[in-house]
Amino acid sequence: MITFIVRRLLLIPVVVFGCILLVFAVMQLLSPAQRLSLYIDNPNELRQISRNLDVMIHRYGLDRPVYEQFASWVGQVFRGDLGWSESAARPVSGAFRRFFPVSAELALWSALPIVMGGILLGSASAVRHNKLFDHAMRFFAITGWSLPTFVAGLLALFLFYGILQWFPPGQIGITAAAMMRSADFTSYTGIITLDAVLNWNWYVFADALRHLVLPVFVLSLVSWAMLLRITRASMLETLRQDYVTTARSKGLSERVVIKKHARRNALIAPITVAGITVAFLFNGLVITETIFDFHGLGRWAARAAQTFDLPALLGYLLFNGVLIVMANLIVDILYAKIDPRVRLG
Amino acid sequence: MKRRKRQYRTIKKFFRNPLGVIGLFLLVFFVVLAILAPVLAPPAWQDEPYRIPRDGFSPTPKPPNEEHPFGTTEGQYDIYYGIIWGTRSAWVVSLIVVGCSAVIGIILGSIAAFYGGWLDEVIMRITDIFYAFPFLVGAMVLTTILGRGLDNVMIALIALGWMGYARLIRGDILQIREAEYVLAARAAGAGSFRLLTRHIWPNAIWPVVVQGTMGMGSIVITAAALSFLGVGAPMGYADWGQLISFSRNWVIGFQGNPLAYWYVVVYPSIAITLFCLSWNLVGDALRDILDPRLRGVM
C-alpha cells in the first residue's frame, strides 16, 4: 500500500510540471506584447506596454532563450505571481481569494444531490430492475445527460423564476445583502450560508439558500446523471454475485442484504469517476455562474475570455489542472484502499 | 460470408431496441434537414449561406409570423434560418472533431499498447497531462487565444478531446495482444503493421465506435457552450449555441407576461437537446449490442 502511494505521489510533480509546460507552450502562441501582460501585476505599468515595448521586453527577459523564460515563469507560478487581471481589476492571486468562496459554496452544496441522489437513486433503480421506477430513472438520467448546462439553466430560470416566481437569480436578495453589510455581521469565510450560521442569522441563511436552489440543481445535473447510471450498472452486477445469494439464503432480510452486502461493493465503481465529477463541476461553474449571476471563479473566467484577459484565463486553467490532478490522486488512493487488486496488479 | 452474417445480426439486434430506433430516426431527420437546408431556407447571400439574414436591427425579439415562422432574436436574426443552417454547422463540427480526435487517439493509443515500454509510459503521461484540464474550460482558453471562429473551436476541441480514445484503444489492445489468434498470426510471420490493421484493430475498434457515438452529442454541447459564452462562432453565424446566447436577456418576459419571448429560448433548446439525445440513444443501444459487459452504464 505504501509503495503504491509513494509511486503515485512521485508521479504528481511530473504531471503538474507537464501542465505548467503545456500552459507555457500555449503562451508561445501569443505576441510578445500580449505575453508581457502575464508578467506585470501593476496596472499602470501595463498601460505603458505599447509605448516602450522594447524596453519592457528586455526588462522581463522575453528576449532571452525560451528555456530561460520557462525557468523564470515556473518560479513566478510557484510564488503565486500570475499577473494582473483586467476583468477583475486586481492581481490574479487576489481575484482567486475573492471569487473562490462563491464557487466553493456552489460546489459544496452540489455534492449533496450528486452523491446522495446519484447513489441512493442508482441503487434503488437497480433493486427495482425493469420496473417503472427503473425506467423513469433511466429516462431522467439520459435526458439530464443530453441537456446542455446552459439550456437547463435557462429553462430553470424560465420556469421557476419567470412563471412560478419561486427562486430569483443572483446570489442574495437586497434585504439580506444589507444585513450582511451591517456592523454586527462578520464575514469569516466568504461562504454566505456558512457565515450566516456562524453569525446566527437565519434570515440571511434562508435567503442565500433560496438563491442556491436553481444553480445547484443545474450544476449537479450532469454529474448526477452520470453517477446514477454507473451506480445502477454496478449494483446490477453485484446483485448477481454468489455472495448476495448466500446472504439471502442465510435468511437475512432484503434490506440488510442490499444495504450491508450489495451496496458497499457496488460503491467501488462510482468512486472511480469522482475525478471526472470534479472536472464536470469546473465546466459547469463557468456556465451556471454566468446564467445565475454568481460572482465566482467561473463567471470571472467567462468574463476573462470575453475581454481577452489572458493572465486570468491561464491562471484559472492552471488552478483547474492542479486541483483535478489532486482529486485523481485521492481517488486512486481510495480505490487502492478499497480494492486490493489495484495495488497488487 | 460469416462476417456479413454477424453484421446482419448486429443490425437486427439494434432494431429490437425501441429507444435506439427512435434515436436513429431523429438522426435521419437531422441529416435530411442538413441536406435540404438550401431548399428549406434559401440563403440570402449565395456565397455566405451560414450568415443569418437580419430583418432590421431592433433589439427586441419579434414573435413568429408569416415571414419568420419561428420569430426573430434580438438584433432581428431569423430563428428558423439559424436552426436549419445550424444543423449543418452541428454536423460539420461534430463529425470533424470526433473523426480527428478518434484518429489521433487510435494512433497514439495503438503505438503505446503495441510497443509498450518507455514509449507507452511517455504517451500515457502525456494523456494524463491533457486530462488534467476540464474540457470546456480548456477549450474556452484555447479558442480565446486562437481567435473567435468555428475552425478554431474545432482545433481546440480536437486538441483536448483525443485522450479518451487513446486510453480506450490502449486497454483493448493490451487485452487482445496476447490472444491466441494474434500469436498465431505473429508466428506465421505477420509484420507489426499487418498485425495491427488486419488482426488487432478490427477486434479492438468497437468500444471506440461506441465512445465516438456518445462523443458526438457532447461535442455539439461544448461547441454550443463556447458560442453561448461569446468565444465560439462569429456574430450572426448559423449556430445553435449562438441562437441560445441571443436569448439570454429575453428568457423572462416583462411584468404580467413572463412568457412573452418563449420562442427565443424554446426552439434552439429543442434543436440542440434532440440532437444530443438522439446520439446518446443510438450510442446506448450500440453499447448494449457491442459491449455486453457495460450494459446500462452511462
- Tell me which of A30, A55, A90 is where a domain ends: A90
SS3 B237: strand
Cβ within 8 Å, pair B252-A321: no
pLDDT tens-digit readout, B161-213: 999 899 888 888 888 877 788 888 888 887 878 888 888 888 788 888 888 98
Cβ within 8 Å, pair B258-A162: yes
8 A C-beta contact, residue B239 and residue B89:
yes
Average of per-residue pLDDT values in chain A: 82
Cβ within 8 Å, pair B251-A154: yes
Angle subtended at Cα A297 by Cα A293 and Cα A300, rounded to the nearest 5 degrees? 65
pLDDT at residue number B2: 57
A190 with A218, same domain?
Answer: yes
The answer to which of A38-42, A298-302, B107-111, B229-233 has the lowest mean pLDDT is: A38-42
The answer to which of A34-43, A84-93, A206-215, B164-173 has the lowest mean pLDDT is: A34-43
Q: Give the helix, strand, coil percentages of chain B, each rounded to 5.
A: 70, 5, 25
Cβ within 8 Å, pair A320-B276: no
Which of A2-6, A108-112, B72-76 has the largest mean confidence? A108-112
A318 domain-assigned: no
Cβ within 8 Å, pair A158-B142: no
Cβ within 8 Å, pair B297-A279: no
Give the sign of the dihedral formed by CA B103, CA B104, CA B105, CA B108.
positive
Give the sign of the dihedral formed by CA A335, CA A149, CA B140, CA A103.
negative
> How many other C-beta atoms are found inside a 10 Å radius of the C-beta of residue A260?
11
Of A163, A279, A280, the CB nearest to B258: A163
- Mutation choice for A interface testing from B124, B137, B278 by most A CBs within 10 A: B137
A38 with A183, same domain?
Answer: no
A145 with A250, same domain?
Answer: yes
pLDDT at residue number B293: 53
A212 with A66, same domain?
Answer: no
Which residues make Cβ contacts (< 8 Å) with residue B211, sequence separation at least 6?
B164, B165, B168
Confidence of residue A345 (pLDDT cuts 50, 70, 90): very low
Mean pLDDT value of segment B39-61: 78
A149 or B261, greater pLDDT: A149
pLDDT at residue number B296: 43
B135 touches A at CB < 8 Å: yes
A60 domain-assigned: yes
CA distance B185 to chain A (A): 28
Of B229, B262, B294, the CB nearest to A305: B229
Mean pLDDT value of segment A125-153: 85
A84 with A102, same domain?
Answer: no
Average of per-residue pLDDT values in chain B: 84
Total domains in the fold of chain A: 2
A83 with A102, same domain?
Answer: no
A35 with A163, same domain?
Answer: no
Question: In the predicted model, is pLDDT for residue B150 greater than 50?
Answer: yes
B273 touches A at CB < 8 Å: yes
Angle subtended at Cα B73 by Cα B70 and Cα B77, rounded to the nearest 5 degrees? 85
A102 with A75, same domain?
Answer: no
Residue with cell 503545456: A22
Cβ within 8 Å, pair B248-A291: yes
Distance CA B110, CA B196 (A): 8
- Mutation choice for B interface testing from A137, A145, A147 by most B CBs within 10 A: A145
Q: Which three cell numbers stand for residue B217?
A: 452529442
- B125 neighbourhood in chain A, CB within 8 Å: 11, 14-15, 18
pLDDT at residue number B3: 60
Question: In the predicted model, is pLDDT for residue A127 greater than 90?
Answer: no
A204 with A69, same domain?
Answer: no
Helices (H), ranges, A113-131: 122-127
pLDDT at residue number A40: 75
Cβ within 8 Å, pair B132-A280: no
A43 with A106, same domain?
Answer: no
pLDDT tens-digit readout, A46-72: 777 767 777 777 777 777 787 888 888
Q: How far is CA A311 from the centre of its chain?
A: 20
A123 with A236, same domain?
Answer: yes
Cβ within 8 Å, pair B136-A306: no
Cβ within 8 Å, pair A324-B134: yes
- A26 neighbourhood in chain B, CB within 8 Å: 141-142, 145
pLDDT at residue number B153: 93
SS3 A250: coil
Question: In the predicted model, is pLDDT for residue B106 greater than 90?
Answer: yes
Distance CA A344, CA A153 (A): 45
A336 domain-assigned: no
pLDDT at residue number A62: 74
- A316 neighbourhood in chain B, CB within 8 Å: 137, 141
pLDDT tens-digit readout, A214-251: 899 888 888 888 888 888 888 888 888 888 888 888 88
Mean pLDDT value of segment A143-169: 84
pLDDT at residue number B90: 92
Cβ within 8 Å, pair A283-B135: yes
Question: In the predicted model, is pLDDT for residue A45 greater than 80?
Answer: no
A221 domain-assigned: yes
> How many other C-beta atoms are found inside a 10 Å radius of the C-beta of residue B278?
24
Q: Which three cell numbers stand for residue A110?
A: 452540489
Q: How many CB pairs under 8 A join A and B?
A: 153
pLDDT at residue number B295: 46
Mean pLDDT value of segment B60-70: 79
- Tell me which of A44, A67, A90 is where a domain ends: A90
SS3 A119: helix
Q: Which domain holds residue A26?
A: 2-90
In this prediction the ipTM stands at 0.83
A186 domain-assigned: yes
Cβ within 8 Å, pair A229-B142: no
pLDDT at residue number B159: 93
B131 touches A at CB < 8 Å: yes
pLDDT tens-digit readout, B219-271: 999 999 998 888 888 888 888 988 888 877 777 766 667 677 788 888 888 99
Question: In the predicted model, is pLDDT for residue A281 greater than 50?
Answer: yes
Question: In the predicted model, is pLDDT for residue A199 greater than 50?
Answer: yes
Residues 227-266 of B with CB under 8 A from A: 228-231, 241, 244, 247-248, 251-253, 258-259, 262, 265
Q: What CATH number did the domain enclosing A203 receive?
A: 1.10.3720.10
A148 with A278, same domain?
Answer: yes
Question: In the predicted model, is pLDDT for residue B33 greater than 80?
Answer: yes
Angle subtended at Cα A176 by Cα A170 and Cα A180, rounded to the nearest 5 degrees? 110
Of B129, B137, B272, the CB nearest to A316: B137
Q: Which three cell numbers stand for residue A170?
A: 443572483
Distance CA B102, CA B107 (A): 8
